[in-house]
């Protein structure tokens, strides 16, 4: 800002100011700075890319896509332009175009890890079921403070159960989608070992749970059948732990998962349907445990992308 006070006709300084506002989350100021710079140099692709990114964050999808397309037209070899184009396409729900854009970013700059993460996100969102369930999970977050409302409004338990089941279904879709992509020849290199192993473990828990549930029904043993449902519910704590950015938070959630496993084994050994049912509720209800853990053990801040 001091530099611009001395020389307001410097497009590169307006670009630097726009980047600073973008890092601070001041998206309207990004738009203003980018437009001031473009008034000086309309052919500056990076300024147009920053404008597109700001429109994405402001929810102005059509403006974002138009600006991003213009940035790519101005400089087809700019990874920043393709990154903005991918962000805009992803915000518009066009996962196929977004994936192509992020692949282009990685072609231009193979070491740019955020583009790899965004490509994985775009590939996942090409699965319609994953997309629907992921959107529902994002809409019904179920923050940990909601638990405090239960004593005042007991009927909310039905809402809690619905939210928990939606999250569980979304995590199942996540596991199946990741496992499919991790095994496909064209995309297997995009997935780290941990991510693929967690997906495999989640799918194995689902299959084992179905098997135990079926066995319990066949033998007429309620405790065994309910334990099968509890095993399936373990998908939520495993996925919540794996998707927690804080190492301490992951340890806490994996410890919680271990306690649930002990409870399930105990329910089978004791023939206790009540203990198994509590394990089911605790398993799918891990979304609130995880929300509290993340609140008190936040993930370390990642450096911003381009």
Q: What pLDDT score does 65 carry?
A: 95
Summarised one tens digit per residue, pLDDT across range 163-177 is 888 889 989 988 998
Summarised one tens digit per residue, pLDDT across range 97-118 is 999 999 999 999 888 888 888 8
Whole-angstrom distance, CA of residue 259 vs CA of residue 302: 31
pTM for this prediction: 0.68
Q: Over its length of 306 residues, how does the chain's per-residue pLDDT go in tens digits?
A: 999 999 999 999 999 999 999 999 999 999 999 999 999 999 999 999 999 999 999 999 999 999 999 999 999 999 999 999 999 999 998 989 999 999 999 999 888 888 888 888 888 888 777 777 776 666 555 554 555 555 555 566 677 788 888 889 989 988 998 898 888 877 777 776 788 899 999 999 999 999 999 999 999 999 999 999 999 999 999 999 998 888 899 999 999 999 999 999 999 999 999 999 999 999 999 988 888 888 887 766 554 445
Whole-angstrom distance, CA of residue 258 vs CA of residue 148: 25
Q: Is 219 in contact with 269 (CB distance < 8 Å)?
A: no
Domains and CATH numbers, the chain: 2-126 (1.25.40.10), 135-296 (no CATH)
Structure tokens at 146: 């909601």
Q: What pLDDT score does 227 carry?
A: 95
Q: Is 250 in contact with 194 (CB distance < 8 Å)?
A: no
Q: What pLDDT score does 304 carry?
A: 46
Q: In terms of Cα–Cα distance, which of 147, 171, 145 is closest to 160?
A: 147
Whole-angstrom distance, CA of residue 202 vs CA of residue 214: 18
DSSP secondary structure letters along 239-296: HHHHT-S-HHHHHHHHHHHHHHHHHHHHHHHHT-HHHHHHHHHHHHTHHHHHHHHHHH
Place of tokens 């437009």: 35
């Amino acid at each position: 800002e001091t530099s611009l006070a001395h020389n307001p006709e410097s497009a590169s300084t307006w670009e630097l100011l726009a980047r600073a506002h973008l890092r601070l989350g001041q998206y309207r100021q990004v738009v203003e700075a980018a437009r001031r710079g473009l008034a000086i140099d309309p052919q500056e692709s990076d300024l147009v890319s920053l404008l597109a990114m700001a429109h994405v964050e402001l929810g102005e999808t059509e403006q974002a896509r138009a600006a991003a397309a213009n940035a790519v037209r101005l400089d087809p070899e700019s990874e920043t332009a393709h990154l903005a184009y991918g962000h805009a396409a992803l915000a518009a729900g066009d996962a196929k175009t977004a994936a192509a854009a992020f692949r282009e970013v990685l072609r231009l700059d193979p070491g740019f890890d955020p583009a790899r993460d965004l490509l994985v996100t775009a590939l996942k969102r090409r699965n319609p079921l994953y997309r629907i369930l992921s959107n529902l999970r994002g809409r019904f977050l179920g923050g940990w403070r909601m638990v405090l409302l239960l004593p005042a409004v007991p009927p909310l338990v039905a809402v809690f159960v619905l939210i928990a089941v939606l999250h569980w279904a979304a995590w199942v879709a996540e596991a199946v989608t990741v496992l499919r992509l991790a095994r496909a020849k064209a995309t297997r290199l995009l997935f780290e070992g941990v991510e693929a192993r967690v997906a495999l473990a989640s799918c194995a828990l689902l299959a084992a749970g179905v098997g135990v549930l079926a066995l319990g029904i066949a033998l007429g043993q309620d405790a065994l059948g309910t334990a099968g449902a509890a095993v399936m519910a373990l998908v939520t704590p495993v996925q919540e732990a794996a998707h927690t950015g804080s190492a301490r938070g992951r340890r806490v959630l994996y410890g919680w998962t271990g306690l649930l496993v002990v409870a399930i084994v105990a329910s089978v050994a004791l023939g206790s349907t009540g203990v198994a049912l509590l394990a089911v509720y605790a398993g799918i209800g891990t979304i609130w445990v995880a929300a509290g853990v993340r609140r008190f053990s936040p993930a370390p801040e990642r450096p911003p992308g381009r």
